[in-house]
Structure formats: structure tokens, C-alpha cells
């Protein structure tokens, strides 16, 4: 019997109904898409997970790290009760996380919090 996951995946959705992380994942190569899926599944079933897979960035914001062909994929997420809400994903190619990507995740986290009153 397969155990229930600790967390269920939920994609952040914009007011227009777009799920940016779902779109991003589907645009990856099949191999990279599979790697991201396996990593997120690991987090779902083994939460809480620490380094090197997951790093806490700030209150309510975590970063999943996933090795892919062209670098290291990052998926920013928050945990809301029993959900891992995927906020933003990108391929990191430099040492420092680009401000744009972190700012995007923080903005979506705030919007999600306002809409769902965590």
C-alpha cells in the first residue's frame, strides 16, 4: 500500500487563471520535466525535507533545487496547510539567484496569502 503524501501539490494561479509553474514545467524537455516531477514527489512524500533538496529562504518561502541538463532548476514554493503551492520556477545558470526570480516568487506569495488568508 502506498502511503498518502504529507503535502499535495497546488499550482499558484493568476487572476487570469494561468498557472505559471505548470506552463514552465511543460516547456522543459521530457527529461528535465521528469527530474522536476521526481523531486517534487520526493518533497511531497518526505516533507519536511532539508538541504540539499530544499532550502528555506524566508518565512513561508522555500526553494526546491533540482539538477537538470542546463543547470539547476529552482522551484519556489510555500506550504499552506497540506499544500505545497508552487509559485515560480526557473533554471538557475549563475551563482546568485536573479532578483527578478526571487521578486516574482515573493510577489506571488503575497498575492496567494491575500487570496487564501493563510
Residue 76: give the domain boundaries.
8-116
Backbone angles phi, psi at 54, to 5 degrees: -130, 135
pLDDT digits (tens, 9 = 90+) for 39-51: 999 999 999 999 9
pTM: 0.94
Is 22 inside a domain boundary? yes
DSSP 8-class letter at 49: -
CATH of the domain at 86: 3.30.2310.20
- In the numeric block, the cell 500500500 is attached to 1
Is 2 inside a domain boundary? no
* Residues in contact with 92: Cβ distance below 8 Å, sequence separation at least 6, in sequence order: 71, 72, 73, 74, 98, 101
pLDDT digits (tens, 9 = 90+) for 67-113: 999 899 999 999 999 999 999 999 998 888 899 999 999 999 999 98
Is 103 inside a domain boundary? yes
Is 92 inside a domain boundary? yes
Domain count, the chain: 1
Is 39 inside a domain boundary? yes
CA angle centred on 92, ends 105 and 89, rounded to 5°: 35
Q: What is the pLDDT of residue 117?
A: 63
Is 3 inside a domain boundary? no
Is 1 inside a domain boundary? no
Amino acid at each position: 500500500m502506498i502511503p498518502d503524501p504529507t503535502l499535495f501539490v497546488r499550482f499558484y494561479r493568476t487572476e487570469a487563471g494561468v498557472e505559471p509553474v505548470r506552463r514552465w514545467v511543460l516547456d522543459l524537455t521530457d527529461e528535465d520535466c521528469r527530474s522536476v516531477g521526481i523531486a517534487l514527489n520526493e518533497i511531497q512524500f518526505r516533507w519536511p525535507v532539508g538541504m540539499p533538496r530544499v532550502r528555506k529562504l524566508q518565512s513561508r518561502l522555500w526553494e526546491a533545487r533540482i539538477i537538470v541538463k542546463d543547470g539547476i532548476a529552482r522551484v519556489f514554493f510555500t506550504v499552506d496547510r497540506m499544500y505545497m503551492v508552487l509559485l515560480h520556477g526557473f533554471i538557475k545558470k549563475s551563482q546568485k539567484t536573479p532578483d527578478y526570480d526571487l521578486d516574482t516568487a515573493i510577489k506571488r506569495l503575497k498575492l496567494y496569502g491575500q487570496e487564501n488568508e493563510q
